[in-house]
């Protein structure tokens, strides 16, 4: 009995041991390779593929076909997949109204129907006042008016009480060139008061170059004749109690000196002064009040950075795939040395004859101009301008509207007496003051000019003078200045005395008031000191006179819609309004705001001991 009991106990112990041993053997013999490292040749057991981004074995949902690569358990074609363009995780981006595209392992974007690519954005050429009918064709600004674009044609919407006259918004009650009606021009020396031409302004009004206005409330002459109130985009200038102000159109709110849409403005995204960060090789975007970014053509998004996965040693061939110490990244592969045609710039194999961040040599960045982008060639840095702009001495200008570069670089339109220069598609032209007309390239008063008396073709004979548009023997109460009967109190060619010609700076017209010369800025420019500037874009007078945009290290200051910002040099990111190198800045390592902790430092965009 005892022996039988002993045998039963031994049998029970053996069974328990066998069960435990069986359980242990079953666990150690699992055939699952998910999450295991690929071998040294980047291979896995049959039925698994090696994910190049993580170097782990994964079982795809279905076997990959020839030419496909597994990325995150999916089979993709790296040359055409916008989510894995050229490498796993290398994501293509697009601006608003666009869709990302990957072609030949290179990122780009395609615009939605009804939109066209204009540089790095998708624009509605039929309705965008900044790109009306063609990229870069900006509809002109006017005081107290809103530029419009309808069916690709520029127009204006005038604010009351202004009326539209030939595409311009004018005050018929005070404009001497359109006094009371669009086609009624007051004679030289007359003023427009209450919509009628007169010798003097009514009591309480000031004579501002022939316009009778109340300077306490006139946005074009606020406080005095020379002060025009700045007008932001999407807003209207105001003047009350001799002080300038502005109001914003529906859908826009005031932020500083600007009117902005906080749901789409990267400078004021979601709230005023909330500036979206912009990665190197990309741009900031604001969608529904939330900041984001998109990458330039040829760059892919890895985390918050825009990189060239063909040469970035921290993202070589795929996002997050860093080359080992001593290796370099060439054509998306980690190798020991760069090809002979390339140069090793901090682990990246680059062509210094083409790379704007390393132009001619490592670390030489080409500056970015407003309304354009930098390029690098065999002769060094250069620029390419956006549609509608042309390069002139390192800047992008509009040759069809810039009076200092009209038709070609360096061609300055001369300022005529009694008028102002303009630049159009046919070159330099004149804009004559009220009471004057263009005759042979000059602005003349045909009522008093002896060489053009009554009309441009009629000259008075010797011994005769021109009085009231007819050749006569004397000038009556006016002054005889070489046969022209003029009022020296208002004639800009004879101001205060015969032969005293009033001059004006660019974007202005000369005026003579009370026998004294001055000038009046052509809106939308305003007077700042002795110059006429557009405070919406002038870096020395941004938003208001004297508000200069500060210099930015590794970038260029710009004034955009009356607010200062910066364009960073290629290779630098805009982080909190500073241009930094996220490959070496420990406070912004690999992206804006990503600070290295402890004693770690930033190398190639990675926080390392």
Mean pLDDT by 10 residues, the chain (609 residues): 43 41 39 64 68 68 78 86 88 91 89 90 91 86 77 86 84 91 87 93 90 92 88 86 90 92 93 93 91 89 90 91 92 93 94 92 88 88 88 90 92 87 88 84 88 92 90 90 89 91 86 89 87 91 93 90 89 91 92 91 89
Q: What is the pLDDT of residues 346-400, one digit of tens each?
A: 999 999 999 998 999 998 988 888 888 889 998 899 999 888 889 998 889 999 8
Question: Nearest 10 degrees: CA dihedral of 490, 495, 499, 503?
Answer: -100
- Note the pLDDT of residue 112: 94
How is residue 574 written in tokens? Answer: 């805009």
DSSP designation for 590: S
- Rounded alpha-carbon distances, angstroms, from residue 508 to 92, 420, 522, 530: 47, 6, 5, 10
Q: Judge whether 301 lies within some domain.
A: no
Tell me the pTM: 0.70
Q: Judge whether 189 lies within some domain.
A: no
How is residue 409 written in tokens? Answer: 């670089």
Question: Three-class SS of residue 71?
Answer: strand
| Contact yes or no for 508/403 (Cβ under 8 A) | no
The residue assigned the tokens 């990122």 is: 107
- Note the pLDDT of residue 25: 40
Smallest Cα–Cα separation from 533: which of 141, 211, 247? 141
- Note the pLDDT of residue 13: 41
- Tell me the torsion sign for CA atoms 497, 206, 433, 235: positive
| Contact yes or no for 53/321 (Cβ under 8 A) | yes
Smallest Cα–Cα separation from 506: which of 490, 522, 518? 522
How far, in Å, CA of 283 to CA of 297, rounded?
Answer: 11
Which residues are bridge partners to 197 per DSSP? 192
- Note the pLDDT of residue 52: 62
Q: Judge whether 508 lies within some domain.
A: yes
- Rounded alpha-carbon distances, angstroms, from residue 377 to 359, 383, 386: 8, 10, 18
Number of independent structural domains in the chain: 1
Q: Judge whether 344 lies within some domain.
A: no
Range of the domain at 502: 419-532
Provide the 10 A C-beta neighbour count for residue 421: 22
Provide the 10 A C-beta neighbour count for residue 252: 18
Q: Judge whether 431 lies within some domain.
A: yes
Q: Judge whether 499 lies within some domain.
A: yes
Q: What is the pLDDT of residues 430-468, one digit of tens each?
A: 888 877 889 988 888 888 899 999 999 999 998 899 988
How far, in Å, CA of 346 to CA of 336, rounded?
Answer: 13
- Note the pLDDT of residue 383: 92
DSSP designation for 460: P
How far, in Å, CA of 416 to CA of 493, rounded?
Answer: 10
Q: Judge whether 464 lies within some domain.
A: yes
């Amino acid at each position: 009995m005892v022996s039988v009991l002993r045998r039963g106990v031994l049998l029970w112990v053996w069974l328990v041991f066998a069960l435990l041993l069986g359980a242990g053997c079953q666990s150690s013999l699992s055939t699952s390779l998910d999450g295991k490292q690929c071998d040294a040749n980047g291979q896995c057991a049959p039925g698994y593929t090696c994910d190049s981004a993580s170097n782990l074995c994964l079982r795809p949902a279905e076997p990959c076909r020839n030419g496909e690569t597994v990325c995150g358990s999916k089979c993709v074609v790296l040359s055409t997949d916008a989510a894995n363009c050229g490498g796993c995780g290398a994501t293509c981006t697009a601006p608003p109204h666009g869709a990302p595209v990957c072609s030949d392992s290179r990122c780009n974007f395609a615009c939605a129907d009804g939109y066209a690519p204009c540089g790095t954005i998708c624009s509605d050429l039929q309705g965008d006042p900044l790109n009306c009918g063609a990229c870069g064709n900006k509809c002109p600004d006017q005081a107290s008016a809103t530029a419009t674009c309808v069916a690709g044609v520029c127009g204006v919407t005038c604010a009351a009480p202004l009326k539209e006259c030939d595409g311009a918004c004018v005050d018929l009650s005070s404009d001497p060139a359109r006094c009371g009606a669009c086609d009624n021009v007051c004679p030289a020396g007359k003023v427009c008061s209450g919509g009628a031409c007169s010798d003097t302004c009514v009591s309480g009004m000031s004579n501002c170059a022939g316009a009778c206005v109340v300077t306490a409330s006139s946005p074009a002459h606020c406080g005095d004749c020379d002060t025009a109130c700045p007008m932001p985009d999407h807003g209207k200038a105001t003047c009350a109690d001799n002080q300038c102000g502005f109001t914003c159109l529906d859908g826009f709110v005031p932020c500083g000196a600007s009117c902005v849409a906080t749901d789409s403005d990267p400078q004021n995204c979601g709230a005023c002064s909330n500036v979206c960060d912009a990665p190197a090789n990309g741009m900031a975007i604001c969608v529904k009040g939330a900041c984001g970014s998109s990458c330039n053509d040829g760059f892919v998004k890895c985390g918050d950075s825009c990189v060239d996965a063909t040469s970035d040693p921290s993202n070589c061939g795929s996002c997050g795939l860093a080359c080992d110490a001593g290796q370099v990244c060439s054509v998306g592969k980690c190798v020991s040395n760069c090809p002979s045609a390339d140069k090793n710039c901090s682990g990246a194999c680059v062509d210094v004859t083409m790379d704007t961040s390393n132009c001619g040599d490592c670390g030489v960045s080409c500056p970015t101009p407003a309304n354009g982008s930098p390029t690098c060639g065999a002769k060094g840095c250069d620029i390419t301008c956006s549609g509608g702009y042309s390069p002139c001495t390192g800047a992008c200008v509009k040759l069809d509207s810039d009076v200092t570069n009209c038709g070609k670089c360096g061609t300055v339109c001369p300022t005529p007496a009694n008028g102002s220069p303009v630049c159009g598609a046919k070159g330099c032209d004149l804009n004559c003051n009220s009471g004057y007309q263009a005759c042979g390239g000059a602005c003349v008063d045909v009522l008093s000019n002896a060489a053009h008396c009554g009309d441009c073709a009629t000259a008075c004979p010797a011994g005769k003078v021109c009085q009231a548009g007819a050749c006569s023997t004397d000038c009556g109460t006016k002054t005889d200045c070489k046969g022209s009967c003029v009022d020296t109190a208002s004639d800009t060619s004879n101001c205060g005395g015969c032969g005293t010609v009033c001059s004006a700076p660019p974007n202005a017209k000369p005026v003579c008031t009370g026998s004294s010369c001055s000038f009046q800025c052509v809106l939308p420019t305003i007077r700042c000191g002795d110059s006429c500037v557009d405070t919406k874009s002038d870096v020395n007078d941004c938003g208001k006179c004297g508000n200069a945009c500060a210099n930015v290290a590794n970038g260029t200051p710009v004034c955009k819609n009356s607010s200062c910002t910066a364009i960073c040099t290629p290779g630098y990111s805009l982080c909190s309004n500073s241009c930094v190198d996220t490959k070496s800045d420990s406070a912004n390592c690999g992206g804006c705001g990503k600070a290295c902790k402890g004693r770690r430092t930033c190398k190639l965009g990675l926080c390392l001991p």
